[in-house]
A = this chain, B = another copy of it.
Amino acid sequence: MSTDHHAGLEDIEVLKSGICEIRQDKLSFRGYNITDLAENACFEETAFLLWNDSLPSEQELRDFKTALRAEYHLPREITEHINHVPREAHPMAVLRTLISSLGLYDPESADNSAPALRRRSIRLLAKIPLLVAAIARHRNARSHVEANPELDIAANFLQCLYGEDPDTETARLLDTALVLYAEHELNASTFTARVTAATRADTYSCIVAAVSALQGSLHGGANQKALEMLLTIGSPENAEAYLLPRLKKKEIIMGFGHRVYKKGDPRVPVLKRMCAQLADKTGQKQIVETAARAEEIMLREKKLYPNVDFYAGLAFYLLGLGADLFTCVFALSRTAGYLAHIAEQYEENKLIRPRAVYTGKKDLPFVPLAAR
């Protein structure tokens, strides 16, 4: 073996997949362009597409929504457990714990067959948004709100979060954000889900592992960090004074650049339009202008484009979500993609086990404790 290793597995193809195509800075799910999906399909439709390799008919979508809504409830033990969680714990750490806990109440959790996986997928896609809303309410010392089985996932999430029915436009914008975040090939957390599935671990283990990896600031945690940066900058005039010294010190600026997209993230244009719309609606124009100024400076100085996390963070903020909740919203959406990848991995499996280049000491004689 050489010392010429594949750092970060950059551009290394590890498996075949029919779920998500990234080609010349274009993104599609099962052959459908992301912009078409964001503009025309709801989150449930997108999840159905990811799991079935075709868009649902009207009847199929109705049945799918009915199955999801039938899972709009949490085990009593979990809602009670949430009340005992320390309020200061990060919502992603709590979500990781509660998804894991959810697995303890699923009697068929060890069954990885396709029909059991399908039931479990519906359960997880329906229940994770309820967990996120319940975590957020507990964190703010508010009482638990029951789900409304008349509502779609995005609208119901807002209802569980705020305790009142959301307006149609807000729900639709969140729904669009969920479509954009639903899937993205072998990003670090989806890859984690597949490495876990490849050991034949149960599905809860796979989702827990994925959500664990999503938490990091170089991955899902980036949307929170990017928004916090925008709030710190505060106004367009401050953007240069904030960014230039940091760029000089080679600090990473959250929300810019992407391992895969070199000429801009195809999810950004839809999100930018959404942010402009929300700024009009809420009157919060200054932060949107600050984002635009930061974008200009980063392109001029570093030829780096904003990524999905930069404008998704801003969109979530304008939708009224707390910054500490952003990554959880990313998680509830990406669960759709994780589950498509887990199904694919279970179906045609090979253990994922790379090697390391050994750079340490060699062939040392053992010295007994007393002689050290």
| Residues of A that sit less than 8 Å from B by CB | 1-3, 5-23, 28, 30-33, 36-37, 40-41, 45, 53, 55-58, 61, 77, 81, 84-86, 88-90, 92-94, 96-97, 100-101, 103-105, 107, 109-110, 185-189, 191-192, 195-202, 204-206, 208-209, 212-221, 259-260, 349-364, 366-370, 372
Contact = CB atoms under 8 A, between A and B. Distances in A.
B369 A45 contact: yes
Contacts of A14: 5-9, 354-356
A253 to B, nearest CB: 15
Contact of A31 (B84, B109, B188, B360): B360
A353 B202 contact: no
A3 B14 CA distance: 10
Copies of the polypeptide in the assembly: 2
B97 A359 contact: no
23 contacts: A6-B13, A6-B14, A12-B12, A13-B355, A13-B357, A16-B358, A17-B357, A17-B360, A20-B356, A23-B358, A33-B363, A37-B366, A93-B204, A100-B208, A195-B195, A196-B209, A197-B216, A199-B215, A199-B216, A200-B219, A205-B212, A208-B212, A218-B351
A3 to B, nearest CB: 7
A90 B110 contact: yes
Contacts of A200: 216-219, 221
The 5 nearest A-B residue pairs measured at CB = A199-B216, A18-B360, A31-B361, A9-B354, A205-B212
Nearest to A29: B360
A217 B191 contact: no
B209 A353 contact: no
Contact of A364 (B22, B31, B212): B31
